[in-house]
Structure 1
Amino acid sequence: MTIDKAVISKITTALKAQSISEIEVIQSLWGGYGELFRAKLTGSQYSSVIVKHIKLPQPESHPKGWNSALSHQRKLKSYQVEANWYQHYAQLCGSGSGSDNDRQSENSVPQCLYIQRSELETLLILEDLHTLGFDQVLTHADHTAILASLKWLGHFHGQFMANQFTTSQPSTVNTTDLWPTGSYWHLDTRPDELQALSDQPLKMAANTIDRTLKQTPYQTIIHGDAKLANFCFNTHHDKAAAVDFQYVGQGCGMKDVILLLSSTLTFTEPHKLIEQYLDYYFSQLASSINLHQPDINPKEVEQTWRPLYCIAWADFQRFIKGWSPKHVKINAYTEMLTAQALSQLTTSSK
């Protein structure tokens, strides 16, 4: 893959580098919307940076056949949201700059070094997490990495927590330029997959599931795509940092938790272990709430969110079963939780 010379020039100018000594292409962006690459620099204070060059064509095809104007608009919006996140919100999380302790905080994210936007292109230059000690990208998570990811989520959710039924909003930011509903699979943006869903009880409950998650009294900013591939780890896997904020927005933290577990579990684990993962997440969430939102009772948040664990799984199953009915994430464990969610909703409506 050849990187446009104009892009190279913008990088060197923006970072006051003498030159770019090496380009390492990480991946093409989903659907042919540009590229993600690492640029190694000479003569700059940054030895390397991550560059996300977003170009916005209408793709001709989609790997799983889901190609539509709606899909295209969802991608456009996702890149706008991501640029907003890095430009205005990322600095509120753990910064990669400053002291050694700051370089690996509880909810580290790469900081935005430069951004340029036009109608058809966005150029994002971000800190390279590899230079900050997060140089491990895992395809299979060990126990330590799962805990580190849950810790990241707990501290992230706690920092941006708000109780929507209070008059004073403790949330740190106004999220109007993020997704009003975080996550890439939420119902409003997935009518095609809902139409294709053959599980009729789940289909009939889709709106109730969606409404239950949206109306929980405690809302936060969720990552929205908190799968293993979007975390980087230190050498020992006990600290994590997150990337790829295209679907960041308001929501219930359980949505991030179930997506992370969907990408790390083998689905043969004893239920007791998964409960321990949830316990650990809530302990980290409580620590963060106590630090950032002292007016919110973390026990009340846990009592509100724990029953939504199965609801969040059912919400994801609604999407995945309509999108890819033979997917590995559809299995006995996820079907059990979906059935539990439907039963729980039926009981609560009586």
Structure 2
Amino acid sequence: MSSIESEILNCTGAKAIHDTTQVQTLWSGYGTIKCYYLEGGKHSSVIVKHIELPKSDNHPRGWNTDLSHQRKVKSYAIESNWYKHYASLTNPNCKVPQLLYEEAGENTRLLIMEDLNALGFPIRRTPQTVSLLAAKNCLSWLAHFHAVFMKVSPKGLWKKGTYWYLDTRPDELAKMTNKPLQNVAPEIDKKLNEAKFQSLVHGDAKLANFCFGSENQVAAVDFQYVGKGCGIKDVAYFISSCFEEEACEQFEGELLDHYFKSLEEAMGNTIEFQEVKEEWTSLYKFAWADLYRFLDGWSTGHWKMHGYSEKLTQAVIEELDSE
């Protein structure tokens, strides 16, 4: 029996492991996520995220730099802190898997967590299969998450959440082809970072990181880039992961209205909520422009760089140039 299997049995009280399946390999070969099926004990199955730092980088887009490596190493430590100290603060309206066991070595890290499939969230959606209702439920999840962690200090997390934020992406900034956007990138970053209302942001709130139940109830995974930020960054990024140009344009108002109604439900109809809504609504286009800035340097021609995102980005450039 391996040490991982021993820890699984110890932390779950299960009598035996009767099967194992690989869920996925981690980005750039940094380890695996597996599901272990158990006999006896409280849990019928658990998810094990086993990080093993590679001897050589193999990034699919060629970003094999020490900066990239260190960012990923830090992200796994932050994810562990999230599950240890913050995950238990969530509620059923922003469901996440709870941590059962954590261990860190010099070049390895082990997380044993609840299996969301076993808890009633076995369905995954793609942009081709997601309904407007399912997308709205994800936005409700984000709203309740942002409300729970409004003004919470990001101790042990990223001081600035999201994986694409400017300070950690100098290589991509230097490679940008959109020079007007490159010139105002620091100002966009400043606008978002100096927003009066800051919460914790998921930081990688794409459709692929949400798990669905049979009635489109939602839970979320993957907290490597959780940290301080204004929640509208999660909102813009989620919408970008779900919908192509025409749908982004068509459903913009409906999706934002739904998000803010969910945030109001979570925060209460207070003066503070109205201030949050006003500020974050005004920053929606800045969140899109910030993402567009990253994509322009990371993967020019990416499918998210469509007319809708370009239009919002151009509006931001013109607004900042006129100030």
Q: Deviations over 1:83-135 (max 9, x none)?
A: 000000000002xxxxxxxxxx2100101011111221111111111121111
Map of 2:149 onto structure 1: 160
Matched residues in 2 for 1:88 and 1:119: separation?
21
| Aligned-residue CA RMSD (Å) | 1.4
- How far residue 6 of structure 1 moved from its aligned partner, in angstroms, is 2.4
Q: Deviations over 1:294-339 (max 9, x none)?
A: 7x61111111111110000000001011100011011111100101
Q: In the alignment, does 2:4 pair up with 1:29?
A: no
Matched residues in 2 for 1:13 and 1:160: separation?
32
Matched residues in 2 for 1:316 and 1:58: separation?
31
Q: In the alignment, does 2:249 pair up with 1:290?
A: no
Flag structure 1 segments of 5+ consecutive residues without an equivalent.
95-104, 163-170
Map of 2:178 onto structure 1: 199
5 Å-filtered alignment, 1:161-240, equals: 161-162=150-151, 171=152, 174-237=153-216, 239-240=217-218
Give the partner amino acid of 1:139: T
> Conserved in 1, the CA contact under 8 Å of 2:239 and 2:248?
no
> Conserved in 2, the CA contact under 8 Å of 1:161 and 1:289?
no
Aligned counterpart for 1:132 among listed residues 95, 119, 123: 119
Map of 1:46 onto structure 2: 43
Map of 1:299 onto structure 2: 274
Q: In the alignment, does 2:56 pair up with 1:59?
A: yes
Give the partner amino acid of 1:75: K
Matched residues in 1 for 2:58 and 2:193: separation?
32
Map of 1:310 onto structure 2: 285
Map of 2:108 onto structure 1: 121
Matched residues in 1 for 2:19 and 2:187: separation?
51
- How far residue 268 of structure 1 moved from its aligned partner, in angstroms, is 1.3
- How far residue 271 of structure 1 moved from its aligned partner, in angstroms, is 3.0
- How far residue 14 of structure 1 moved from its aligned partner, in angstroms, is 2.4
5 Å-filtered alignment, 1:2-13, equals: 5-13=2-10
Matched residues in 1 for 2:180 and 2:211: separation?
38
Map of 1:328 onto structure 2: 303
Report the TM-score, using the length of structure 2 for normalisation: 0.96
Map of 1:276 onto structure 2: 254
Give the partner amino acid of 2:124: V
Give the partner amino acid of 1:331: H
Give the partner amino acid of 1:143: L
- How far residue 61 of structure 1 moved from its aligned partner, in angstroms, is 2.1
- How far residue 160 of structure 1 moved from its aligned partner, in angstroms, is 1.1
Matched residues in 2 for 1:58 and 1:341: separation?
42
Q: The residue matched to 1:31 in structure 2 has which SS?
A: helix
Q: The residue matched to 1:155 in structure 2 has which SS?
A: helix
Q: The residue matched to 2:28 in structure 1 has which SS?
A: coil
- How far residue 346 of structure 1 moved from its aligned partner, in angstroms, is 2.9
Flag structure 2 segments of 5+ consecutive residues without an equivalent.
none
Matched residues in 2 for 1:242 and 1:270: separation?
22
Q: The residue matched to 2:246 in structure 1 has which SS?
A: coil
Q: In the alignment, does 2:66 pair up with 1:69?
A: yes
Q: Deviations over 1:233-290 (max 9, x none)?
A: 11021x2111000000000111101111111112212735211100110111112122
Report the TM-score, using the length of structure 1 for normalisation: 0.89
